[in-house]
Structure 1
Amino acid sequence: MFVMKFGGTSVTKPESVAAISKLVSARIKEQPVVVVSALSGITDLLVKLSHSAAGEVRDNLFTEINQKHDDWIDAIFSSNNTAYNEAHKIVDNYLSELAQLINDSSLISQLELHDSVVAFGEKISSALISYYLTQNGIQAQQLIATNCIITTNQFGGADFMDAATRKASKASILPLVKQGVVPVITGFIGANRAGQTTILGRGGSDYSAAIIGYAIQASEIQIWTDVNGVYSADPRVIKTAKLVKKLSYQEAAELAMFGAKVLHPRTIQPAVKLSIPVKVLNTFNLDNIGTIIEHAPDNTDGTIKSITWRKSAPLLNIYSANMFLSKGFLQKVFAILAKHDISVNLLSASEVSVSVTLDNIGKLNPALAELNKFAKTDYFEGFGTISLVGDSIMATPSLMQKVFNIFQAAKIRVQMLSYSASNINISLLVASDRIDEIVPVLHKEFIE
């Protein structure tokens, strides 16, 4: 068995939908398990819908969601009247169910409503893709992931529960596979033990595929997207970016965490547990070899594999004379940040101060107020991070000297520097408006 996950663009465009059928059919004897995202743009509309009040705005959102699916059906099934009508019934039934959910929304919390509403994107796409495969002679069946991914109770960004998910996935997926049926599973969603729908966070369909691959002990996890794989930099920005053919799990995780958008940051975690290879492939270029992610790093491409960046990385400086030689200071700081839903990306500390960049700002003002009771804080926006990623990145003694020479020549101040404990990542905090200027220079020096 192996898992094939298809993203929003892959399930939206007619040529890539046809490619899905071709790919599944070609490897049907290897027992593929398919995971799909919602059609492009649908999740954003559903998020808006979950927060909308009754009236014209809500009606317009329903109309737009319906129209996007109608356009998909027109493009895919226009030459087959029976299939065309059946596909419309699928969408109509789900939208009726969605309308009923929203009308009864006073019965559940806003957080639960949000997750239940946005889940309809994947519910509809999985039903349509499953039906499309069936129409193309492939035995396929939709499977809602609430039956196989059991999660924590955290609406908006739940995580899977290991033993419960393995048990549920094997019970729901394996019988279909043994019957020669291709499960078409909703990405992005799961359910807690009470059966309430939860989501795994934006972009979570990659994570869903990895969770399912781990739970059923798949031989491989494939992430099919609209790019050829993982590049040495974002190819939309750096035209000379190179395809990276191999990455270690740690390299891929660092790239995802520090800004690369090909993979969800948590995708690698389940795969690592069973050493399942992860491949990133292009639905629009089936002949491309893609990128393979596995345990053993491959340094044939050079020390630095890729450069990634984030334009927004707010900086929080915390000063306290009491920090010197005191026990538990950092623990206290991080407990406050976690309490207010603030996650940290980079960290730098001295005897009397600690500087962190924030992955998200959560409830910033209450957090600052609490920190200011025992320390002085300064909060700055307008910064971003540039990360150089590669296994054993510090093995080259002259690397940092070259990096600082480049920044000095460009007259760009490095506000903060952070090395990963795993010797895989060097990250620099700089002014956001200088990132576009310096990244091409770094890429040319270290990769081209």
Structure 2
Amino acid sequence: MTVSTTTVTTRQPSLWRNRDFLALWGGQIVSTLGSRTSATALPLLVLAITGSPSSAGLVAAAGSLPYLVAHLPAGTLVDRWNRRRIMLTSEVVAGLALASVPVALWSNLLTIPQLMVVAFAQGTCFAFFGLAEQAALPRIVPTSLLPAALAQNEAKGRGAALVGPPLGGLLFSAGRALPFLADAVSYCTAAVGLLFVRKDLQAERTVRQESLWQETTAGLRWLWRSPLIRAAVLLVAASNLVFQALALVLVVLARQGGASAGTTGLMFGIYGGGGLLGALAAGALQRRFSPRTVIIGVNWIWAALLPLLALTSNPLLLGVIGGASAFLGPLWNVVFGTYQLSLVPDELMGRVGSAAMTLCWGVLPLGSIAAGYLLAGVGPAGTVLILTTVMLATALAATVSPAVRHAPPLPSGP
């Protein structure tokens, strides 16, 4: 009797064979690039039609206001409503808002209030879409591929940050309406990509008995009761405060070194290039180091790099030091994001995500304000030393945190 044996090989899941992820990610590459393009052109447009930096500041404030006022309620609504519809509606509304700019320009009807409304609408749509996309990601890719998916999203954002500003400047030089028209088209492209995502983007919902306020605060309560997520959010908020302040410090240091506007742009290009390289390497690096090593180690490396900025005013060296810091950011984000997506229950995903973003991003205006006062009071070198002290305290807090020291491995199951 002959016994026949058949060897069955199981194909490992691959992000690049995941049709739904590729449809979503591909559309967002175009949309994110478009957003970076119009973000660069918007202050240029305001200054071109008014010559007023204060008007440019008002428009910028209108665009960032949703990050503070919309994130918490958006998280609750993302958990209540259909995530696919939220994402599609966000893309369409943002696209229509951006399309109104070239129409108003061609009609000679463009006003600062309109640009403020457009900026606010775009920021609000960004908040809703980002939370819905983050909450839907675990439904699109298996758990084992979440770090890789987050790394690709990091690369998408970092790449757009590198290419978008010069593209926005180029298009604006060719025609004031072009960057906004291009962004409107990019939103339409992303909406079409969403139509090819076939999977259900959320679990079945139970009938809700709580008020909107109770549901909104449920995300904050869950976050605060989770030691690891709470520690990670506080560490991210502290580092965001430092690096938001650092952006202005770099400009002042570069000017002290006699840098022109072009050289300053090159400095930030090097800075952004470091972030892009880090995003491309984040997927492989997170497999080589434990989450505990990443969380603690990245903060200590940042604390070691920051004081180097006080030793030079050469814009290229400043860009290299900043780029080295930016290289580590995506790795940190991948580890934090993977924990968040794997530990938070699906029905709370939007609310916990919105609570985390509010805490992490809510410090950004404080960083800018603090940088201005510190630069005026103690100068750039003194400001760097103070920021280094904050970063040292953050690294020390990460090191002694029981939640961080006992952080579990990242999930590797299906």
Compute the TM-score of the two structures, normalised by the length of structure 2.
Answer: 0.30
Max Rg structure: 1
Structure with the greater relative contact order (CA < 8 A, sep ≥ 6): 1 or 2? 2
- Higher strand share goes to which structure? 1
- Higher helix share goes to which structure? 2
Compute the TM-score of the two structures, normalised by the length of structure 1.
Answer: 0.28
